[in-house]
Chain A
Amino acid sequence: MWVVGSVCCREDVSWALIYQFVFDHLRAVPPVRQDLCVQGIREEGLGVLQAAVRFYVYAQYRTCEHDLCDFDPYLNMKHLAETLSLVITLYRESTKENTAVKSRNICGGEDISSFVQCDTCDRKSDDSDSESDDVNESKITQDAVASEKVNSASKGAPESEGSAGTDMTRNVTEERGKRCESDEGSEGSGSSDPCKNTTTTITVMVESGEGMEEEQEEQQEREQQRREREKKDKEEEQERREREKKDKEEQEKREEQQKREREKKDKEEEQEKRKEQEGKGEDKEEEWQKRERKREKLRCEMLKYSPREEAEALNLLVNFGQAEAIMHVLKLPREIRESRLVWTSLQMNLTWLNNNYHRILRLAPLLPTLCLMAIYYHLTTVQRRALSILSCGHSSRGGLMYSGEDLAASLRFPSITTLLDMKTTRVDWIDERLASTVCRWEIFYFLQVKIYCSGWQGEPTTDSAFSCFINRSEVVPR
């Protein structure tokens, strides 16, 4: 770590010499791995290997302009790939050890380890939800049982008292009337008025034996009943009228609301039309600003990554487009796979399967500097393929109908001059220039990239010249 950290920061010696020195020292690292694992100091070993990976990635970018005698890109890439696969294997083994230890310590399988697959996690979460639902359901059933008991008690009391006797029946009617009122929820009706059903079924039992008095009493009672019925009918009519009024009022309210909503929509449409008439540029600016804010957020989120996430993302970007790397990441635990950095790198790989160059070139600036250095090697291939697709898709009668500046912007070149270096815009000529290896050196020479390293704890460093290449971002150092 001292070699990589302090030696690399020296500016009195040429970078070529520094690279050779560090490269020779790092060649001793992989055979030490077995000893590190046996001795149980795996974390330190991982740290050393990961620092080596960062060095190779950085050197791959920094030294791309140098001659073959100073820097062999093939050897560097080979060592990078080997060290990276070692790091990934070590992380995988430590993950399996952790799961084995946790499964031994767990009783009854209630505790969930962080590396259990999503299916079991979902099942566990479903179980926990079902447990809480069971608790709620038990409460509900208890409440229901209690209410049933109350109802049965209240119903049973009048039934048990019997049907004989006027006083008893009147009491029954009053109680039933009260219950009916509480069931209906109606307010303002007298407590003495019984429900319809109960009045039809209830019969007053009279036990007197005298005839005429009984008849008069009966007539009086019948008249009372008629009056009561008439009163009820009137009240029902009043209730009906009140309900109709309420319904009408509600309908009117709804119609008013709908009118207001229509008016609002019309206003909004008018505003939109005005905006369109005023100028689409303003909308575009607003949209661009929104996107920039979103990207800024994403960029900040992407700076927060663990060493494992960095290693997995670098693996994806160094082996860009390779099915094995993508399948390996797809089988990772969800929390690592769905971290912002790994997710973005995975999306770039998956969209490349469908040749969606635009999304790759749009996502690339969001990456931290180290990851950008890992992917730059493949960006030329992406740009070359993009140019051939554009030339096929936009060509009309044999010519590429595409503005030069827009072309440079969409392919993430600083300007059209770096793309062309000539005045003509013939696609064939551009394609030939891009196909040659000289073009790449010219681009970076023009950019005059200067990158200063400051420590090897994953802190990104940038220079403004880099932003020309990525065209938008300024990676915020930690």
Chain B
Amino acid sequence: MSLTYTPLDEIPNIHATARRAFLSGKTKSIVFRKRQIAQVAWMVKDNEQRFMEAMKADLGRPYQETEFFDFGIVYGESRMAYDNIEKWTKEQAPDFNPNWFLMKPRLKPEPKGVVLVIAPFNYPLFLLLVPLISAIAGGNAAVLKPPENTPVFSALLAELLPEYLDKELFHVVNGAVAETTKLLELPWDHIMYTGNGRVGRIVAEAAAKHLTPLTLELGGKNPVIVDPKVDLEMAARRIFWGRTSNAGQICLAPEYVLVPEESQAALVSAFRNFYHSFFPEGAKKSDSFGRIVTEAHAARIKNLIEQTRGTIEFGGDVDIAEKYVSPTVVSNVRADDPLMEIFGPVLAIVPVKDIDEAIAFINSRDVPLAIYVFSFDKALQKKVVDNTQSGAIMMNETLVTAGAPGLPVGGKGPGGYGYYTSKYGFDQFVHMRVSVNNPAWVDKLALWFRFPPYTVAGGKKIRSLETPLPPRPTDSESSISNTWVVLLATAVAAASSVAVLRAMERV
């Protein structure tokens, strides 16, 4: 199927239409936003079969995976935004403060404006529509750029979106590099990009020119630590599921497993059992196993498998024409092995001495989107949590945080920044506008002292606005502990005299 690309000279017009529609103020109505949010869900619900078929055509993806990962999250997000939008958009007051409450300080989330959402091929429905729901809840206009390598899905979205959503505010732009480049030249009020770090840098540089704020979701090499004392069968089942779902093309997928050398064989054998129980007639014949998005990617993965210096325990078959890569486990993989960058159904096992070596291994690489720990030992879990960085950290599970309602999805360092989903997704698309309204008489009662000419009396008054300082740390390891004793005594004396004299301020 060939995808109809949006004509290049149409793109600025689409941007202008969205801008005009935003400026018309129609997104200000919360009722309007709620209807649009509901429509996003109904667009999917009414066309579930077509979307599932599109994913099947583009990614060979089993229906169940589309329902579980794409539909489920879109429905959940739409419901959450629909139910919480009044709470999210409501004006908030900071904590009561006697010096300032007369001015009625308030904060209110307001839309950023016209936003751009760019999504990759692996979860185009989730990665476009979930941000769209957040953007609508925030009151924005939005342009969606689906991936060009899922042509059936991208065409379907371009067909359906205008049938369900406001045609002026919300648009789909289809295309490849030229169209994306054109999009990136325009001044957006926020850009949300999901994909890889190389393109992420291009997007960030384009955003820098217009001072556009960004959310970047860039994935990374997610490690798994397996404690041999864990229920190995459970661990193998959940890891293997995380690695083979969507044929391994998930930014949260476990990419490699760190396990003590002596337990490697047992783990491999558990993986092998699940290979057989997941795909009893082999993965190629199974309707429960997806395909690689393009032949080029299948060839890339084939190349990695051929180059690895590890031991291929099972799998390793690639049929480029069918975009098929079999679920594969490779053991004895070392840090410098080519397999350490996969995005396919190939799981590398890296044997280590102990937990310290596993942590050191993780810390020697880029901060991943997720770290997975399979262990029932709380102390071990805590050790990993405290000594590593990552977007997410899961104990005895893979992938699922993205689906837990209310948990933000977001990377750190090279994994990106900003958040998807829930209130945190909404926050990406709003600006907290602050306000105060200060009655005239406040100047008589207080705050008169701020006006020139400055006087000694006014200076004292200013200090009355001050909150008391936290106690001075008495820590003896400080380099200036000597002078401190004197200072501390002074402070104590000052504090007590203040307490006695009360209203008297320090000058």
A and B, one complex?
Answer: no
